[in-house]
């Protein structure tokens, strides 16, 4: 299992797809937090290094765009090469699946960690290291001194967490969504041509995004996996608990979705004729 995961990671690291996805993800993140940096410079106050990722994780437009790079990164799953048949001759289908799933999880974690570091590097010229919220970030939650900046963060309940807690929660939510949707792509690619599987995954992501855009009440965000991945759509320490799900509830939803997808994928693999189809599926 670990050798399959390691081999898949090595293949990813030498693929242009990996670096294109990382570049695009980091670029979108940096563009998304530019208004925050401009606002902080405008009032002459530094930010916390961690606040960029928190700001990014509460912006559904940029978080949705960055997720698209994840799907591009893992779009060749599960048939990443023509030698999958030889791999399956040496290991069971269960171990092969475990290795592929481990790779998807590692890829999502690595991707979002690099995006986080890119944002921290971008803010480093006007930021401090500390586990407490900055004045500019606090002012944004209160709607004060906005001036001409496009920075926008009307989520004061997020500040109930420490910055490090908020970043950890945001990374875990983003990874959970990316991993779940990667498994969905895995399942689609077992049943459909690769291009069509990619399109179906994009369509599902668009549906989740539309739920957030169409409904005015935040109550309906719980019915979108994308909404469950956004930090601001959660009740923190009981704040807005009647309206928003808790972090624990969202992680439970992702766990159930992952379990269902793994069962479907495993059943699909058991019926799959790798001798005929591996290496020929496009």
Q: What is the pLDDT of residues 153-192, one digit of tens each?
A: 889 999 999 999 999 999 999 999 999 999 999 898 888 8
Would you say residue 106 lies in a domain?
yes
Q: Where does the pLDDT of residue 50 fall: very low under 50, low under 70, confident under 90, or very high at 90 and above?
A: very high
Overall number of domains in the chain: 1
Would you say residue 18 lies in a domain?
yes
State residue 206's pLDDT score.
93
Across the range 84-97, mean pLDDT stands at 66
Gap between the Cα atoms of 177 and 242, Å rounded: 23
Lowest mean pLDDT among 69-78, 122-131, 249-258: 69-78
Of 113, 166, 128, which Cα lies nearest the Cα of 40? 128
Q: Please tell me which residue, 264 or 273, carries the higher pLDDT value.
A: 264
Would you say residue 233 lies in a domain?
yes
Q: pLDDT per residue over 111-139, tens digit each?
A: 999 999 999 999 998 989 989 999 989 98
Q: pLDDT per residue over 190-204, tens digit each?
A: 888 878 888 999 999
CA angle 74, 52, 69 (to 5 degrees): 15
Would you say residue 173 lies in a domain?
yes
Would you say residue 238 lies in a domain?
yes
Q: Where does the pLDDT of residue 28 fall: very low under 50, low under 70, confident under 90, or very high at 90 and above?
A: very high
Would you say residue 276 lies in a domain?
no
Whether residue 86 is predicted with pLDDT greater than 60 in this model: the reply is no
State residue 154's pLDDT score.
87
**DSSP secondary structure code for residue 159 in this structure:** G
Q: What domain range includes position 114?
A: 2-271
Whether residue 91 is predicted with pLDDT greater than 90 in this model: the reply is no
State residue 281's pLDDT score.
42
Gap between the Cα atoms of 119 and 267, Å rounded: 40
State residue 270's pLDDT score.
73
Would you say residue 36 lies in a domain?
yes
Whether residue 104 is predicted with pLDDT greater than 60 in this model: the reply is yes
Would you say residue 280 lies in a domain?
no
**How many Cβ atoms from other residues are within 10 Å of residue 58's Cβ?**
20
């Amino acid at each position: 299992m670990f050798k399959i995961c390691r081999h898949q990671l090595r293949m990813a690291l030498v693929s242009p797809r990996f670096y294109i996805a990382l570049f695009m993800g980091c670029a979108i993140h940096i563009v998304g937090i530019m208004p925050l940096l401009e606002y902080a410079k405008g009032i002459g106050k530094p930010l916390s290094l961690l606040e960029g990722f928190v700001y990014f994780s509460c912006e559904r437009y940029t978080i949705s765009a960055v997720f698209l790079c994840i799907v591009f990164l893992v779009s060749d799953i599960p048939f990443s090469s023509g030698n999958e048949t030889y791999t399956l001759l040496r290991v069971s289908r269960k171990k092969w699946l475990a290795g592929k799933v481990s790779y998807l999880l590692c890829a999502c974690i690595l991707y979002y960690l690099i995006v986080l570091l890119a944002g921290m590097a971008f803010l480093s010229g006007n930021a401090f290291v500390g586990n407490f919220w900055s004045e500019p970030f606090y002012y944004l939650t209160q709607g004060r001194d906005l001036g001409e900046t496009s920075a926008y963060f009307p989520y004061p309940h997020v500040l109930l967490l420490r910055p490090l807690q908020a970043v950890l929660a945001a990374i875990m939510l983003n990874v959970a969504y990316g991993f779940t949707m990667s498994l969905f792509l895995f399942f689609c690619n077992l049943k459909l041509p690769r291009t069509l599987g990619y399109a179906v995954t994009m369509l599902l992501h668009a549906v989740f995004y539309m739920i957030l855009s169409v409904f005015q009440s935040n109550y309906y965000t719980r019915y979108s996996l994308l909404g469950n991945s956004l930090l601001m759509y959660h009740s923190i320490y009981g704040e807005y608990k009647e309206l928003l799900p808790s972090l624990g509830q969202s992680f439970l939803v992702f766990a159930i979705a992952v379990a269902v997808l793994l069962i479907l994928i495993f059943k699909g693999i058991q019926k799959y004729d790798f001798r005929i189809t591996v290496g020929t599926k496009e």
